[in-house]
A and B are shown apart, each in its own frame.
Chain A
Amino acid sequence: NAGVTQTPKFRVLKTGQSMTLLCAQDMNHEYMYWYRQDPGMGLRLIHYSVGEGTTAKGEVPDGYNVSRLKKQNFLLGLESAAPSQTSVYFCASSYLYMGPEHSTGELFFGEGSRLTVL
């Protein structure tokens, strides 16, 4: 059972290059999220989606774009990479909440993608 899969796992970019991180989930989850993790700052939400065809900004959206063309996939794009975007990126998905008695409310995370921008 794959769960949440992120590709690639590692990538090194030069400033100004573009790239796309792919997140795929096989749990039929409605909600998907992209977080970045930086030392001493925890995980910060970049963008998220509450369903196919929808996206919304999180806490730190600048410099990133996302798309959710298919329910199972959530893409994170960097149009012009900057050194400040060096980070570990985590994708997560969760059930559509029916109420606290119906859902654990747990986010299922991918293994992370380490991106270095030189």
Chain B
Amino acid sequence: AQKVTQAQTEISVVEKEDVTLDCVYETRDTTYYLFWYKQPPSGELVFLIRRNSFDEQNEISGRYSWNFQKSTSSFNFTITASQVVDSAVYFCALSEATGDYKLSFGAGTTVTVRA
């Protein structure tokens, strides 16, 4: 069975601080996909990134960066120089690479960025 753990329930930072969101996963699959989604206060779910299990290269997109470490089953997400607009709930998710590709979500981490 797949499982995604986001141990941090809430994180509060002051604008311009960096914030790192932890994500630890469990799966028996050798090939799988990892995702991060953002849910701003308006409620919609916004896709941020997908990472394949066979590609451990880290990725940077503007102020966002992701650190994938297969050895520790972690896929952490860092927001650099946070802004108020980054305030949201962030979900890490895991999908099998065969069959039905269902996404299993973590419980989410609420990030509050204070001005």
Binding site for B on A (CB under 8 A): 31, 33, 35, 40-45, 48, 50, 56, 58-59, 88, 90, 92, 94, 97, 100, 104-109, 111-112
Contact = CB atoms under 8 A, between A and B. Distances in A.
B44 A111 contact: yes
Contacts of A112: 43-44
B16 interface: no
Interface of B: 4, 6, 9, 33, 35, 43-45, 47, 50, 52, 54, 91, 95, 97, 100-108
B97 A43 contact: no
A111 B101 contact: no
A90 B91 CA distance: 14
A33 B103 CA distance: 9
9 contacts: A40-B9, A42-B105, A42-B108, A44-B105, A100-B33, A105-B33, A105-B50, A106-B50, A107-B103
A42 B103 CA distance: 11
B50 A104 contact: yes
B28 to A, nearest CB: 17
B98 to A, nearest CB: 9
